[in-house]
A and B are shown apart, each in its own frame.
Chain A
């Protein structure tokens, strides 16, 4: 395992993702798009929850804000490339606001505040028809046109015939790769260490001169911006958004992705989103039972490996790897 460097694995993964939709139908391509979108949202939440240790049950509401802002702007003729940053920045500042309760309360209480926020956002979306279209939502958002790469239409790119859905998949993929690279850089930066410090021991972090107040707010704001980015992709990909697509259940789903994959692992959300989005497709033959099987699997996973699937992988790897063995006589000495 160790002989193959990490970057080679990543390059291999990317190559698979690039060829994945070629020759596939619309259904499979859109499932992959949905996986990429939710991975972005889950990576945002992973920063808030996995790295900074602040629980948030409002990620779907940030997707909603991102999706609606993008939809409203693009429906009024503004290009997606302008609408997307606007949505992300808006989510950043709303996330900052939602972060304020985190300065006062922790753990379960924070979960409830964010849960209430999510439900409030859905209520506003449903009731303010003049802006959001009420429960009918917004539809027919245009797909962006990037000059030679018009995602709204079918055409040949570099000699390969690509459908509109396949091209929008590549838009998702590019966004995902850029976002993942930014996240990777962020986590390895001093800020990333500050987030981990906040999670592990806030008092110690503060005594080492860290402004925990600012870091908590930033963790929320950046995580929420991730949600907004996912939302602003959802708008042109699905081309139909309505309040129920962002209900509390979806926040819980994103939370599941983070925890099932492994909170605090960089690749955790990708794995988690794959399990949450793709597994139901594989379990489709079980018909209505798949959610039942799925919830049982989650309970078992939580009982035996709270650090998620990445945690299981880690444990297996650490068993296979050669380890330092403590000398028997030293152990004896410690007991004496």
Chain B
């Protein structure tokens, strides 16, 4: 029982970080019909910005802020302006060519990091380091609790922003029906840009939280990207809470499988879940089959 609680909690903590990446993925998909195959690399890269900032002498908190700003600019603004927008202007956004372009972007980011920073896994400072708590016999790490709290806090904040503020509602309108939103005076282009910026910020946060666990390595994105897709689809591609549930579910399942069933096939469980969900409930566990919301 104690062990189960431990496994469950650390699964939830990792899962909540996956959920951040998955939510960003969902947002961009909803707002711009862009399936971002480079999402994993978007989570890999910000950690390297932190390392670069720290190498040039900045303290950790300042380095985090600089990295966040750079990531939002590069992965949000530049990604939209330099890749997604020109493709949509040529009338082929959302199609196969955009998928290929984001795949190429993933290679580009990965290889650039490998070439200009290094192929070795780099140690990365933890955001929160704490001891352990003893809750009813279960040893629970403070870091896990903090990760869970931060991620859930961000998700709640984001939901409030999208539902309660004028900008948030305009973003939802853009995702649901761009044409009507535009008629009603919403600057849809700007709203889509906001979505990209939010995605970049979420990916950076996920990066800051997860990199201490995996160490900073150029190839981190391959696994993280796959998990983000799976979480987004399993939970329901058109809902924030779906992506959240998907992320948590994958995190917990992964841990439970590794501990109790098979370590060899732990990576297979999310994939089987993905195939099953797509075949039998394509709208996802929490998704609705029609209509889209941010």
| Residues of A that sit less than 8 Å from B by CB | 49, 55, 101, 104-105, 108-109, 111-113, 115-117, 119-120, 123, 127, 248, 252, 255-256, 259, 263, 288-289, 291-292, 294-296, 298-299, 302-304, 306
Distance between Cα atoms of A125 and B129 in the complex (Å): 39
Give the residue of B92, B108, B115, B264 whose beta carbon is less than 8 angstroms from that of A299. B108
* With A256-B100, A259-B100, A302-B98: A101-B90 Cβ-Cβ less than 8 Å: no
* 14 A-B residue pairs with CB within 8 Å: A55-B99, A109-B282, A112-B229, A112-B230, A112-B274, A113-B278, A119-B226, A123-B265, A295-B104, A295-B105, A295-B107, A296-B108, A298-B104, A302-B104
Consensus secondary structure, chain B interface: helix
Q: Please give, as numbers and ranges, the residues of chain B lying within 8 Å of A105 by CB-CB distance.
A: 278-279, 282
Known contacts A101-B279, A112-B233; is A288 also within 8 Å of B111 by CB?
A: yes
Q: Does any Cβ of A come within 8 Å of B58's Cβ?
A: no
Tell me whether B142 is interfacial, beta carbon within 8 Å.
no
Query: B96 near A263 (CB under 8 angstroms)?
Result: yes
- How far is the CB of B236 from the nearest CB of chain A, in Å? 12
For the complex, give the distance between the alpha carbons of A6 and B267 in Å.
50
- Complex Cα distance, B271 from A299, in Å, reads 28
Complex: A117 Cα to B114 Cα, angstroms? 28
Cβ of B259 under 8 Å from chain A: no
Chain B residue, CB-CB nearest to A294: B107
Contact A306 B97 (CB under 8 A): yes
Q: How far is the CA of A224 from the CA of B90 in the complex (A)?
A: 32
Nearest chain A CB to B31 CB, angstrom units: 15
Name B residues whose Cβ lies closer than 8 Å to a Cβ of A: 35, 83, 86-87, 90, 92, 95-101, 103-105, 107-108, 111-112, 114-115, 222, 226, 229-230, 233, 264-265, 267-268, 271-272, 274-275, 278-279, 282
Instruction: State A294–B121 Cα separation when bound (angstroms).
Output: 24
> For B103, what are the chain A residues with a Cβ–Cβ distance below 8 Å?
252, 255-256
Rounded to whole Å, the gap between the CB of A202 and the closest CB of chain B is 16
Nearest chain-B residue to A290 (Cβ)? B111
B residues near A292, Cβ cutoff 8 Å:
108, 111-112, 115
Residues in A with CB closer than 8 Å to B222 are: 248
Instruction: Give the distance in Å from the alpha carbon of A248 to the alpha carbon of B105 in the complex.
Output: 16
For the complex, give the distance between the alpha carbons of A67 and B233 in Å. Answer: 32
For B104, the chain A residues whose CB sits under 8 A away are 256, 295-296, 298-299, 302
| Nearest neighbor of A128 in chain B, beta-carbon distance | B264
Give A256's nearest chain B residue, CB to CB. B100
Most chain A CB within a 10 A radius of its CB, from B92, B100, B112, B265: B100
Residue contact B233 to A109, C-beta cutoff 8 Å: yes
